[in-house]
Structure 1
Amino acid sequence: MIDLTLGELTRIVGGTLVLGDHAVQLGTSESTIVNGPVDTDSREIVPGGIFVAKPGEFSDGHLYVPAAVENGADLVVVERVLDDLAIPQIVVANSVDALGMLATEVVRRIRADGTLKVIGITGSNGKTTTKNLVRTILEGRGPTVAPRDSFNNEVGAPLTMLKLESDSRYLVAEMGASKPGEITRLVRMARPDIGVVLMVGLAHAGEFGGIEKTLQTKTEMVTDLVPTDVAVLNFDDYRVAGMAEKTRAGILWFGLDPRADVRASSLVATPSGTDFTLTLPTGESARVHFSVLGEHHVTNALAAAAVAHTLEVPLAAIVTALESVTRAERWRMEVVQGTQGVTIINDAYNASPDSMLAGLKTLAQISGPGIRRVAILGEMSELGEFSLEEHDRIGRTIVRLGIERIFVVGEGALALHLAATQEGSWDGESVFFATADEAYAVLEAELRSGDVVLVKSSNSAGLRFLGDRLGERFA
């Protein structure tokens, strides 16, 4: 984090400074500098760090203040005064709000010199992959800050912003939401120069209350942009395309449609990735071998290329960066090719109907002599009233895609199994297991050389660990 005095930080978050036994004297709070990393996880605190104690759904961060102090915290932000604390504490009404206020001010100060460019990324699917691609491209241009994992909510996004330093040139902010208004909150913290919207789908539809609420929430990315900003929008998604009417920003289109400004053509999908021709608005084009498995990830690559083009990154540098990325992220189309001839595609970190269908289509495209395609599928969570219908739809689609073997794990995905077995033309190809352990015991004996196996579910279903076990077993 940038240098702030203890007094400045207290005023920024609207708190009250309480000094510990061995802390600075009150009169020196305006000269005492704090600039350590900020975190809400006591395990991540390092000497000089700032620990923000936030109440949680299942625990209370205030219980972990002693652990943060033991790890070297110089300051804690709390919602109540803690006794017998030897370091300063800033007491605030709401620690998550305080985190956001601090992030907003840090971004504002760094932006004041005009060198920082902020990129905001949202969408029902593809945010983390696109964020990683943008980061890879921009790291070659200057100091770049981007989230780790999927730090994209009201806590994770400001924690990322607080990693900015005075010399940071780019901030890549992934912005997710579980209800309307959350993206607006994050946009107003970071004030993106470039706002990217990837797609609008049924991910989290149960929380939002339907696709229209999802559309309304994702549109928040572009409604606050000003005329000097750029909205990078997916031409292929008609819901995203409609956002052009909701923003004052300039529009840069990306997509597979030949009318898009940044587009891909001549796609060739293989088990080692997708080859395509990338074309920029200037008319320049180049062939790209994109190693991230799945044609659907080409759209994410186009979004990243559109951001880079807006920031005047040359085509050659864009291509080099895209070709250097070999996986989307841990547990996202992560390929483990074993010495026993079994290939595991572990894509079980997130699952929505759109991403499930994209993963299954990728599996279906992988064909050749001796290849048997196997799908191990779990629940798509957070679909609410749409859950039964969407699991049923995916189950029937698997049959139509011609995937030879399906294993369904967990009660939440039972409708998927029933739909597949009822679709007809199959005879025992779909097998249901209540637990991942039961599935593993059968899979360990059944998988054979030449099999390509997709493991796909929402994070809550835990199948990513089953994918890891299978990867270790057959690697």
Structure 2
Amino acid sequence: MIPLSLAEVAEAVAGRLTPDATGVVTGKVTVDSRTVAPGDLFVAVPGERVDGADFLAAAAAAGAVAALSTRPDDALPCVVVDEPVAALGRLAAEVHTRLVAGGLTTLGITGSSGKTSTKDLLGQVLAAAGPTVSPPGSYNNDIGLPLTVLDADATTRFLVLEMGSRGPGHIARLCGIARPRIGVVLNVGSAHLGEFGSPEGTAAAKGELVEALPADGTAVLNADDARVLGMRPRTRARVLTTGLADGADVRAADVTLDDAGRARFTLTVGEEHHPVRLQVVGAHQVANALSATAAALAAGMAPADVAAALSAAGPRSRWRMEVTRRADGVTVVNDAYNANPESMRAALAALTGLSGQRRVAVLGAMGELGPGADAEHERLGEDAVAAGVDLVVAVGPDAVGIARGAFRAGAREGEGAVHVPDRAAAREMLMEALVPGDVVLVKASRSYGLEVLAADLLDAGAGA
């Protein structure tokens, strides 16, 4: 973060300084007292289980300069505010305004799936052109986005922000904290239908990003998604389209996959054609790469430089198509960070594109799908069989529909599909069933914790 005096912090967040609150924040801003370092500002966020204000003494012992808190404390100088999360957003907005005046270019990414993967690709591409802030992981909410903004300093040239949405107005609020000059909309799918009610409701919320762009900015829209392309009239900014169709401004041609499931294609921008060899797994990464390309072009990079940087970019965030080969020859694909119908099908396509003797899909439930959840789970089971998955393992009571769909599509119980009650049962079954040459995909919504199962499977083969 840029250095700020506590008086400047208080003014930015409309807070009240305690009498001992003097000094300058020279480090980072953090909401976790365990990560505090000397010079940091600790934001004491109240939570459902713990209140950050209870950890001011720990933050002080670790070297924090001060805290944003709902109450003063003798342990540490404080800027007292009513709502620390809202104050964090106001602080980020003030810092962002100063950085933009100094030449910072801000890029925002949203979509039903692929946000983090695209953010990771774009961050690595832009880093080839200048100092870039684009942290690994999904910092895409009212806490994570301000913290990302506050990681930038006067040397930062590009700031890449991931923007998630849990309802109407959420992305608009995030854009109020840090207004992007370049906005990327990847897709409109079935994620969070429980909140939005329909794909049209999702599209309305995702389009808040392009509405926030300035007239001299750029909206990057996926032309292969009709709902995304339909956002064109909602922005004053220039529009760059991406896709596989001939009419897209940024296109991929001659797409192929190698034995490891990584895509190769020819990047076409106008009359320029450049080869790209992605280091991330799955054909769905081509669309993410095209969106990252268009955003980088809008930020001033040349197509040849973007193609070279894309070909060097690797996976950065955990539990997203992490492909690991065990010593015994079993390959584990950990894609367990989150799931919705579209990302599930993309993962299944990636699984069947990997070389191996047998493809095993270990699938947990997809959350927040609303009234259509049962039908979506059954359809997923059918699609897994249709994709060529040899064994479908549905994990947990909420995933029983996946097994039903697989049986309906012709999978034999116990051989082609099975339902197990929990992670422990899945682990026990897979320990006996997996043999060298198997490729195992593990995927579910984050709340089901299947990343633990993926880790167990890797540990089981460590000593082979």
Shift of 1:425: 5.2
- 8 Å CA contact 1:227–1:248 kept in 2: the answer is yes
Equivalent in the alignment of 2:363: 377
Are 2:28 and 1:40 aligned?
Answer: no
> Partners of 1:52 and 1:371 in 2: how far apart?
51
Are 2:60 and 1:72 aligned?
Answer: no
| Bigger mean CA offset, 325-334 vs 191-200 | 325-334
> Partners of 2:190 and 2:6 in 1: how far apart?
44
Deviations 1:400-426 (A, max 9, x none): 222111111111111111221233353
Deviations 1:162-191 (A, max 9, x none): 111112111101111111111101112111
Are 2:352 and 1:354 aligned?
Answer: no
Are 2:431 and 1:444 aligned?
Answer: yes
> Partners of 1:443 and 1:226 in 2: how far apart?
53
Equivalent in the alignment of 2:88: 99
- 8 Å CA contact 2:180–2:212 kept in 1: the answer is no
> Partners of 2:93 and 2:309 in 1: how far apart?
30
Are 2:379 and 1:393 aligned?
Answer: yes
- 8 Å CA contact 1:37–1:50 kept in 2: the answer is yes
Aligned to 1:240, what secondary structure does the other structure show? Answer: helix
Shift of 1:11: 1.0
Shift of 1:109: 0.7
- 8 Å CA contact 1:392–1:419 kept in 2: the answer is yes
Equivalent in the alignment of 1:192: 180
Picking from 321, 328, 337, the partner of 1:333 is 321
Aligned to 1:335, what secondary structure does the other structure show? Answer: strand
> Partners of 1:379 and 1:291 in 2: how far apart?
28
- 8 Å CA contact 1:271–1:293 kept in 2: the answer is no
Equivalent in the alignment of 2:275: 287
- 8 Å CA contact 1:121–1:175 kept in 2: the answer is yes
Equivalent in the alignment of 1:411: 397
> Partners of 2:51 and 2:202 in 1: how far apart?
30
- 8 Å CA contact 1:292–1:328 kept in 2: the answer is no
Q: 1:409 to 1:64 in 2, by over 3 A?
A: same
Within 5 Å, which residues of 2 pair with 1:250-329? Answer: 250-272=238-260, 273-281=262-270, 283-327=271-315, 329=317
Shift of 1:74: 0.9
> Partners of 1:415 and 1:19 in 2: how far apart?
60
> Partners of 1:276 and 1:112 in 2: how far apart?
38
Shift of 1:145: 1.0
Shift of 1:242: 0.3
Equivalent in the alignment of 1:164: 152
> Partners of 1:238 and 1:202 in 2: how far apart?
14
Deviations 1:233-263 (A, max 9, x none): 1000000000001111100001111211111
Q: Which runs of 5+ in 1 are unaligned?
A: 25-31
Deviations 1:61-118 (A, max 9, x none): 1122222122111100111233x32x310111111111011000101011113x2110
For these two proteins, the number of residue pairs brought into alignment is 460
> Partners of 2:344 and 2:68 in 1: how far apart?
41
> Partners of 1:308 and 1:223 in 2: how far apart?
20
Give the TM-score taking structure 2 as reference length: 0.96
Give the TM-score taking structure 1 as reference length: 0.94
Deviations 1:216-240 (A, max 9, x none): 1100000121220000010000000
> Partners of 1:36 and 1:402 in 2: how far apart?
52
Picking from 243, 258, 265, the partner of 2:231 is 243
> Partners of 2:413 and 2:65 in 1: how far apart?
64
Shift of 1:427: 4.3
What RMSD in Å do the two structures reach over aligned CA positions?
Answer: 1.5
> Partners of 2:340 and 2:225 in 1: how far apart?
16
Shift of 1:328: 5.7
Q: Amino acid of the residue matched to residue 92 of structure 2?
A: A
> Partners of 2:273 and 2:119 in 1: how far apart?
23
> Partners of 1:148 and 1:289 in 2: how far apart?
22
Equivalent in the alignment of 2:125: 137
> Partners of 1:267 and 1:52 in 2: how far apart?
47
Q: Amino acid of the residue matched to residue 35 of structure 1?
A: T
> Partners of 1:205 and 1:44 in 2: how far apart?
35
| Bigger mean CA offset, 381-390 vs 159-168 | 381-390
> Partners of 1:213 and 1:374 in 2: how far apart?
35
> Partners of 2:420 and 2:316 in 1: how far apart?
28
Equivalent in the alignment of 1:81: 72
Aligned to 2:125, what secondary structure does the other structure show? Answer: helix
Q: 1:317 to 1:472 in 2, by over 3 A?
A: farther
> Partners of 2:28 and 2:231 in 1: how far apart?
37
Deviations 1:354-403 (A, max 9, x none): 00011112222335xx6211111101112122211211110111122221
Equivalent in the alignment of 2:13: 13
Aligned to 1:292, what secondary structure does the other structure show? Answer: strand
Aligned to 2:441, what secondary structure does the other structure show? Answer: strand
Q: Amino acid of the residue matched to residue 473 of structure 1?
A: A
Aligned to 1:129, what secondary structure does the other structure show? Answer: helix
Equivalent in the alignment of 1:421: 407
Q: Which runs of 5+ in 2 are unaligned?
A: none
> Partners of 1:287 and 1:327 in 2: how far apart?
19
Picking from 31, 49, 64, the partner of 1:58 is 49
Deviations 1:106-162 (A, max 9, x none): 01011113x211001111111111111111011121111123310110000001101
